[in-house]
Structure 1
Amino acid sequence: MGFITSVAGVSLAGMFNLALILKIGLLFWFLHSIAHPINDHIDRESDKIGRPNAPIPAKLVTLRQVKVIILLDYIIAVLLILILPLNVLTRILATIFLVITFIFSAPPIHTNARGILASITIAIAFIIAFLGGWTEVVGKGFEVLLIPLSFLIGSTHIMAKIVVDIVDIDSDKRSGRNTLPMQIGIKRSFYIATVFGLLIVFMYLLTYFIGNLNIIYLFLGGIGSVITLIGLFRFREDYGRELGREYYKIVTLPTYIFPIAIILGSV
């Protein structure tokens, strides 16, 4: 996810240099991947219920091994940010992205278990990855299209995170987490997810008409919009009781489709 989102920023800036794409894409991919072992460690109790096939509940790794992996990941991440030839602004954005992964996943802040802050934190992280790709090409500059595209990317992650919190509400209750559906209820949380789903469609149309993205963006963005609306409509039928995380897979698709649409739409 970090890879294609940052590459979308590179592509929007008009650069299709393979070496640059791999450098930025793999950097943000690695920075994003750091959150996974932290989440596996922190959420191990809720995962016993909601994700029994996760690494720790499935006994694929021990707690000690996870801690070592986390430490090594952060050491490597810091070295990459310092050593890779990045411009100053991209280096700053990559550092902020790394800090956000810690804020999201680890105590004492651990926004992943703090209601709407979880969704906002994820959205900000991927907006930063997108901008990081763009700034590595352009440097210090600004383009109006960055604003609605950032809202578009952020909205896909907010919607998906709220849906998964609704699906995982039972396991989260048993593990003591305090997610958005637990704070304001399932229906109200779903209404918020729907607002961001509609915002996705609006921002997709806005970016096509005010930007210079091609017909591929129009086509793929249309598919992403339809999947968003159908996914939310189906989810509303039982709020995830029947298919569970299968709904999450559906509403997560736009988080991949729209960055790909930006990449191909910028050609």
Structure 2
Amino acid sequence: MHAYLQLMRIANCAMAAFAALIGVLIAFRIIFEQPLQAFPFFEAGSVGIAVMLVTGAGNTINDYFDVGIDTINRPDRPIPSGKVSKQQALFFAAFLFIAGIAIAGFINLVCALIALFNSLLLVLYARNLKATPFFGNAAVGYLTGSTFLFGAAVFGMEGLYALSVLFLLATLATIAREIVKDIEDMEGDRKAGATTLPILIGKKQAGFVASALALIGIAVSPYPYMNSMLGEYYLPLVGIADLLFIAGVYAVLKNDPALSSKRFKLAMFMALFAFVAGA
């Protein structure tokens, strides 16, 4: 059992489930002016379980396709160590995907469609997109942002609209940070024969792409307040997040990707806190 939990990366799954529950809570507070007693606890719990299963399936299928690399770099992982066979890992991933999509289907059609699409994307990422410049970064960004969106999908299309800006901010910030991390890892990636965006177009140009994505996120961040979707606490807190994003942009343009990555990560947490406080 422990080996299968390792395959799932259960702590990572729990964090994803928590993010989805935050998505449910924020969407509920934006859409409804009701006390928390009216909160859809059963649906929220179902969302958390579905996200844990699909995330665990994605981590498992990632290990399935990475077994060659892990045999060299991480021989203690369940598949290279022989604790779980490749076939067992594949069947386990399929079971988790099917179970996660099925639970999402019991919530509503929107949740089911997001779970199905994300499951297919996780397989495609593990098999092909991970080694594809920018598209691999974009897939990680979307999957991160869609965790919040999946929680909001409990309330159907109205929930998706309510969290559209948080989804966009999380997606853009994650893509930018992934590109910055690729800049930081250029030397090792080049030796390993990888083709990342910085290797393909150059460190400086990749920094410009990451900066542009972060600045787009900053530009749209005031929208929930201006559209009366979030309260007065949102604006000053998201302003702090925006300043951290700007600091991250400055760091990457000054050729300090390690510092930039840390600032982007901190800015993402502050932006999430701003949404929670504003809701």
2:130 aligned with 1:105? no
**Long gaps (5+) in structure 1:** none
Structure 2 residue identity aligned to 1:193: A
Q: Which amino acid aligns with 1:158?
A: I
- C-alpha distance in structure 1 between counterparts of 2:269 and 2:67, whole Å: 27
Cα deviation, 1:2-40, whole Å, max 9, x if unaligned, reads 334423432233164444333313422442344445445
1:72 to 72, 77, 92: 92
| Aligned partners of 1:47 and 1:171 also within 8 Å | no
Deviation at 1:213, TM superposition (A): 0.8
Q: 1:238 to 1:128 in 2, by over 3 A?
A: closer
What is residue 142 of structure 2 aligned with on the other side? 124
Look up the match of 2:271. Answer: 258
Unaligned runs of 5+ in 2: 1-14, 30-38
**Match among 141, 152, 176 for residue 134 of structure 1:** 152
TM (norm. structure 1) is 0.78
Q: How many residues align?
A: 252
Label 1:25 to 1:250 Cα distance change in 2 as closer, same or farther (>3 A). farther
Using the TM superposition, name which of 246-255 and 88-97 deviates more: 246-255
Which residue identity is paired with 2:148?
A: F
- Partner letter of residue 23 of structure 1? S
The question of whether the paired residues in 2 share the 8 Å contact of 1:158 and 1:193 is answered with: yes
Q: Is the 8 A contact 2:173 2:214 kept in 1?
A: yes
Structure-2 separation of matches of 1:19 and 1:133? 12
Which protein has the larger Cα radius of gyration, Structure 1 or Structure 2? 2
Distance 2:186 2:252 in 1: 15
Q: CA deviation at 1:80?
A: 2.9
Shift of 1:115: 0.9
The 2-side partners of 1:139 and 1:25 are apart by: 16
Compare the two structures and name the one with the higher helix fraction: 2
How far is 1:205 from its partner?
A: 1.6
Distance of aligned partners of 1:199 and 1:44 in 2 relative to their CA distance in 1, 3 Å threshold: farther
Match of 1:10 among 21, 24, 31: 24
Larger RCO, structures 1/2 (Cα 8 Å, 6+ apart): 1
Aligned-residue CA RMSD (Å): 3.1
- Partner Cα separation in structure 1 for residue 50 and residue 273 of structure 2: 18
